[in-house]
Each structure stands twice: as C-alpha cells, then as structure tokens.
Amino acid sequence: MNSFKKLAILFGLAIVVTSCQSKGSRNYQYMPNMYESVGYETYGEADFLPNQSEAMLPPANTINRGWLPYEIENSPEGKELSRLQFSPLDSINVEKNMAQGGQLYTIYCAICHGDKGDGQGTLVKREKILGVPSYADPVRNVTVGSTYYTIHYGLNSMGSYASQMNTEEMWQVSEYVMKLKQDLTK
C-alpha cells in the first residue's frame, strides 16, 4: 500500500509538471528581459532620454560618413563656377575609377542617357522621357565639374543622386562621363 501511494504521488507530480508544457513556445526563461527587450517607438516619447525622444538630431557641424559637403551652391552662378572644378580623385587609380564609374553609370545613368552617352537610353527609346541630350553635343560644354554638379543637385527632370552615391562615387561617374564624351567626339 505504501508503494502504491508513492507511485500515485509520482504519477500525479508527472502530470502536473507536463500539463503546462507547450511545444509552440518556451516554457521557462532564465532571464526574460534578455529574450523580450523593451521596444521603443522611433519617434515616440521616452522619459529617460534627452528631449524625451529616441530619434535625436545629429550634433551641429557633423558630416555623414562617406559624404563631403559641396562648396558650390545650387544656383545658375554655381553651375557656371562648377565648370572650372577638377576631379579630386587620385590620377594613379584611373583604371579602377573608370571601372567603378562605368558600373555606377550603368546602374544609375544608362537607363536614360544610354550606354554610350548618346542620349538613347531604354526610357528614351520607349518615349517615357524625352529631351535627354548626347554628351557629344558641343553646345552643352560638359566638364567633369559640371557633371558632378548635375549629379549632386540634379538638373531639369533629372533628380539629385547625392543620396544614392557618396562623393567618391559621384566623381567616378563624372570621370566616366568625360570618357564617354571623348569616345563620342572622336
């Protein structure tokens, strides 16, 4: 009889322990605050943070990594001033810069300007956009500085690509555009 009570108690404990088990979720957590962190809304209020907001403005006079401020302003005078600007890229790595610039040109520019820079990109051929001139057009007076200016600020229906490329990449594309211009004017 004594062994029967022990077996009944053991069986009862086994039922109690396994009755709360679920295969769909964890049953016990050693440190629950590590598994389930406290989430804060991006622009929500948080009492313990400065200004009670999680998203704060960057400190004054800081510059994003990979981006340098462009000293020429976005104006007609700035466009003319940009024509005199030269590329700051290292002239020893011309092949590397041209290869990288060619890849970026294919990604961002060739859809409108064409692979050769003749203004016959896919969107122009399908008549989705019109008026994309060739780099060989002598009236345009395209220079490496004016190309960078146009990529940075945009011009007419072309928007700015400053948010999609860093400073070095924009200069690489500008140098590649000058190579395309030389190829077209031969």
**Which of the 8 DSSP states describes residue 51?**
G
Q: What is the pLDDT of residue 21?
A: 66
66 has a pLDDT exceeding 70? no
pLDDT average, residue stretch 90-107:
89
Average pLDDT over residues 165-171: 90
Q: Which pLDDT value is given to residue 107? A: 92
77-95 residue pLDDT tens: 988 888 888 888 888 888 8
- Where along the chain do its domains lie? 76-185
| Topology at the third CATH level for domain 76-185 | Cytochrome Bc1 Complex; Chain D, domain 2 (1.10.760)
pTM of the model: 0.66
More confident residue, 18 or 13: 13
Q: Which of residues 46 and 8 earns the better pLDDT score?
A: 8
Mean pLDDT value of segment 168-180: 91
Q: Is the per-residue pLDDT at 11 higher than 80?
A: yes
CA angle at 36 for the pair 31 and 37, rounded to the nearest 5°? 105
Question: Nearest 5°: CA angle at 137, between 135 and 140?
Answer: 85
Residue where the block lists tokens 């790595």: 93
17-26, 70-79, 93-102, 121-130: lowest mean pLDDT where? 17-26
CA torsion, points 123, 126, 131, 133, in degrees to nearest 10? 60
4-8 contact pairs (CB < 8 A, 24+): none
- pLDDT of amino acid 103: 93
Whether 54 and 41 have beta carbons less than 8 Å apart is answered as yes
Strands (E), the chain: none
